[in-house]
A and B are shown apart, each in its own frame.
Chain A
Amino acid sequence: MNFDYSDDQKMLKDEARRFLAAKCDAKVVRGVLDHDDRAYDAALWKAVAEQGWLGTAIPEAYGGLGLGHVELCALAEELGRACAPIPFASTVYFVAEALMLFGSEAQKAKWLPRIATGEAIGAFATSERAGPVTQASLHTVATGGTLSGEKIPVTDGDVADLIVVLAKDGLYLVEKGAGVSAEVLRTLDPTRSAAKLVFDSAPAERLGGDDGIVAMQAVFDRAAVLLAFEQLGGADRCLEMAKDYALERFAFGRAIAGYQAIKHKLADIYVKNEIARSNAYYGAWALNTAAAELPLAAATARVAASEAFWFASKENIQTHGGIGFTWEADPQLYYRRSRQLSLVAGAPATWRERLVSQLEMRNAA
């Protein structure tokens, strides 16, 4: 039984934490929050690329480090903890995974090395309206090597070099350029960029995979596990912030950390975080071993992590009291990010439904 990071993975994670503490403090996150013209922090993106993190799970043959997905999970946890304002998830969890799952040899050879170096930013475009992505919600069509339609919102759509687009009949690769226009959107989390993308007969190449939203779901299953680790890292950081503040803040003659109302609140956060951690580990195992139960494990990890991060981020603000509601205080960064991460691969309610469907299928088998 080995249900934990290995020593090497722990070392990688510790290094990542030190690296991000130096390169991605709250000032860096705020730099993107406070500047509408800044889609992401370019210096951090470059530094992360130089570390080789973008190619963590990409095979060496395609310019990656050829490590496993558990290593990528360890990095995701640290990126979430640091609230990193870079297009890492879009590029690595969605687009690189989609390419590795469904790409032809030529597609992989063309794009994966560019992703691994940070030269190409990716975006995964699925949603077209309010509500979950269903087959009926799709109006984007691909014909004769071109693709037309509108996608909103597309995280990092405004800065992406390569967009994986879900059309009615499946996934397509579209490059930035002719036939693609982007309109930047205001979102709940300005530290992550998003756009409305309009495709007008944009040159498009079919990516492999099943027809329709089945292919999207296969990518979501993989991204969900990685996102769960980002959410877990964020939730852990919220608990730390709340704890540190509660120990320093005095009211009625003593530290508020001594009141049971606060102690039990922080214990509740801890319990949710541990449930999220254990389920994320199971998801990491399923992802890394391409286990048949990945869809169920991914849904379990995602629901637990979404709940934990939301709860931790809102109760962190509550623990801070009035100061927590100011622009200058940092709890809002995580509150905003928890919304971004909970919605980007489909909302928790959608995943709960998927989880139960998977349970029914497993029991029927």
Chain B
Amino acid sequence: MDFNDTAEEAGYRAAARAWLEKNVAEHKALPHADDMAAARSWQARKAAAGYAQITWPKEWGGGGGTPIQGVIFGQEEAKFPVQYGYFTIGLGMCVPTVMAFADEETKKRFVGPALRGEEIWSQLFSEPAGGSDVAAIRTRAVRDGDDWVVNGQKVWTSGAHYSDYGIVLVRTNVDVPKHKGLTMFWLDLRSPGIEIRPIHQMSGGSNFNEIYFTDVRIPDSQRLGAVDDGWKVALVTLMNERLAVGGGVGASPKEILALAKDLDAADGPLIADPAFRQRLADWYVQAEGLRNTRMRTITALSRGQTPGPESSIGKIIAANQLQDLGNAAVEAEDQYGIIADPALLPLKGLFQTAVMNAPGLRIAGGTDEILKNIIAERVLGLPGEIRVDKDAAFRDLPVGR
């Protein structure tokens, strides 16, 4: 057990750090019109150096590196103020799907521009009728000559408002069971008949979109995989989901400890309250447990292994802790805690923000309940859910709300 790099890893890390120091300084010295322009410029710089997608083959502009090298570069990059999130979904999930299923011409056209940050991709899977049960989607594609005509609605699409292209899962056959009638396409998000509307979240922000399709024509040449075989393609997309080796989000034990030192409770500072100290210890134990679990994931990568299921527990813990810890801090502020104006609040309202964002985090990317099913079924080997819709044609399935 130790935290040291192998000699090879240490060499890679040193080179990455040296590159980052030089290039972040150059990057920050340049004038950029806005955050997006800065993001594109930084992405292009990384791509030129082979740091954009470290594990992709060099022939596609990647770094030809190993997963552990990707993790090491990510750790080092995280220490610099160049955290732009615009390309994560496209490069992490959409473009790998295109690379796995599209023809050479399509790949040559799209992979490079995506890698350099010139074009951004979105993933269009979820629908009002298909969240946890993605295979229940209803957006319908009907063949018309060389095209497919698409009608329906997608929802919870991150970044669609600034994206150029997307991969979309649609229903092409309603006479077979739900998993067997889906097909995947890539499409231009500026195609006629597409309307993108931001979703106004309960937290007040708008990070996601609804996308409405009205007689949108997609050429059959843009199909990824076989007709009615889209579920398999979707599984490839989801498998490419980035390894969860990043840091935590928002309010953590460190911040609530800082709050507790300054906050006057009934009987001295909050940090002197034994009940608070007991809870703080539990939050710290969980946060450390997650941090150390990531170390185990990285160890598996370092040994050339596929990380085990231990990495699947992260979001359940992190999202619930954020909600619990955030609310504890808000309640500790007593009557004052109801205030949501950052200007009036300790740590600029970090805890109030946590309380309002946590419900979304417990749902996005798999609800607590779905993740527990995944642990129970794929890790522990317990029976799957009884599926009453497994053998029925999609058209005959009962629909609720």
Q: Which residues of B contact A276 (CB under 8 A)?
A: 289
Which A residue's beta carbon lies closest to that of B377? A263
- The verdict on A21 contacting chain B, using a C-beta distance below 8 Å, is no
- The verdict on B399 contacting chain A, using a C-beta distance below 8 Å, is no
B302 CB contact (under 8 Å) in A2, A267, A275, A277: A2
Shortest beta-carbon distance from A269 to chain B in Å: 9
Q: From known contacts A1-B4, A263-B377, A274-B313, infer whether A353 and B289 are also in contact, taking CB-CB under 8 Å.
A: no
Q: Which residues of B contact A278 (CB under 8 A)?
A: 288-293, 295-296, 310
Complex-state Cα separation, A309 to B381, whole angstroms: 21
Whether B373 pairs with A1 at a CB distance below 8 angstroms is: no
Chain A at the B interface: mostly helix, strand, loop or mixed? helix
Q: Which residues of A contact B5 (CB under 8 A)?
A: 1
- The verdict on A125 contacting chain B, using a C-beta distance below 8 Å, is no
A360 CB contact (under 8 Å) in B271, B274, B317, B382: B271
Q: From known contacts A258-B382, A270-B313, infer whether A355 and B295 are also in contact, taking CB-CB under 8 Å.
A: no
- The verdict on B286 contacting chain A, using a C-beta distance below 8 Å, is yes
Q: From known contacts A70-B1, A279-B288, A281-B292, infer whether A353 and B379 are also in contact, taking CB-CB under 8 Å.
A: no
- The verdict on B100 contacting chain A, using a C-beta distance below 8 Å, is no
Whether B277 pairs with A289 at a CB distance below 8 angstroms is: no
Whether B293 pairs with A264 at a CB distance below 8 angstroms is: no
- The verdict on B144 contacting chain A, using a C-beta distance below 8 Å, is no
B3 CB contact (under 8 Å) in A1, A255, A267: A1
Shortest beta-carbon distance from B302 to chain A in Å: 5
- The verdict on B383 contacting chain A, using a C-beta distance below 8 Å, is yes
Which A residue's beta carbon lies closest to that of B276? A356
Which B residue's beta carbon lies closest to that of A257? B382
Q: Which residues of B contact A274 (CB under 8 A)?
A: 289, 293, 310, 313
- The verdict on A154 contacting chain B, using a C-beta distance below 8 Å, is no
- The verdict on B161 contacting chain A, using a C-beta distance below 8 Å, is no
Which A residue's beta carbon lies closest to that of B271? A360
Complex-state Cα separation, A96 to B299, whole angstroms: 32
Complex-state Cα separation, A156 to B284, whole angstroms: 33
- The verdict on B241 contacting chain A, using a C-beta distance below 8 Å, is no
Q: Which residues of A contact B380 (CB under 8 A)?
A: 239, 243, 263, 266-267, 270
Q: Which residues of B contact A327 (CB under 8 A)?
A: none
Tell me the count of chain B residues lying within 8 A, CB to CB, of chain A: 50
Complex-state Cα separation, A281 to B313, whole angstroms: 17
Q: From known contacts A278-B295, A279-B289, infer whether A355 and B284 are also in contact, taking CB-CB under 8 Å.
A: yes
Q: Which residues of A contact B381 (CB under 8 A)?
A: 243
Q: For chain A, give the interface size range.
A: 35 or more
- The verdict on B281 contacting chain A, using a C-beta distance below 8 Å, is yes
B residues 268-313 touching A (CB-CB < 8 Å): 271, 274, 277-278, 280-282, 284-286, 288-293, 295-296, 298-300, 302, 310, 313
Q: Which residues of B contact A3 (CB under 8 A)?
A: 1-3, 292, 295-296, 298-299
B372 CB contact (under 8 Å) in A268, A304, A363: A268
Most A CB contacts (10 A, CB to CB) among B274, B292, B313, B385 go to B292
A300 CB contact (under 8 Å) in B257, B285, B302, B377: B285
Complex-state Cα separation, A299 to B382, whole angstroms: 33
Whether B317 pairs with A271 at a CB distance below 8 angstroms is: yes
Q: Which residues of A contact B291 (CB under 8 A)?
A: 278
Whether B285 pairs with A304 at a CB distance below 8 angstroms is: yes
Whether B288 pairs with A282 at a CB distance below 8 angstroms is: yes
Whether B285 pairs with A257 at a CB distance below 8 angstroms is: no
- The verdict on A284 contacting chain B, using a C-beta distance below 8 Å, is yes
Q: Would you list the 5 A-B pairs with minimal beta carbon distance, nearest first?
A: A275-B289, A352-B281, A278-B292, A263-B376, A267-B372
11 contacts between A and B (CB under 8 A): A1-B3, A4-B1, A243-B382, A258-B385, A260-B369, A260-B372, A278-B291, A278-B310, A279-B289, A281-B296, A352-B278
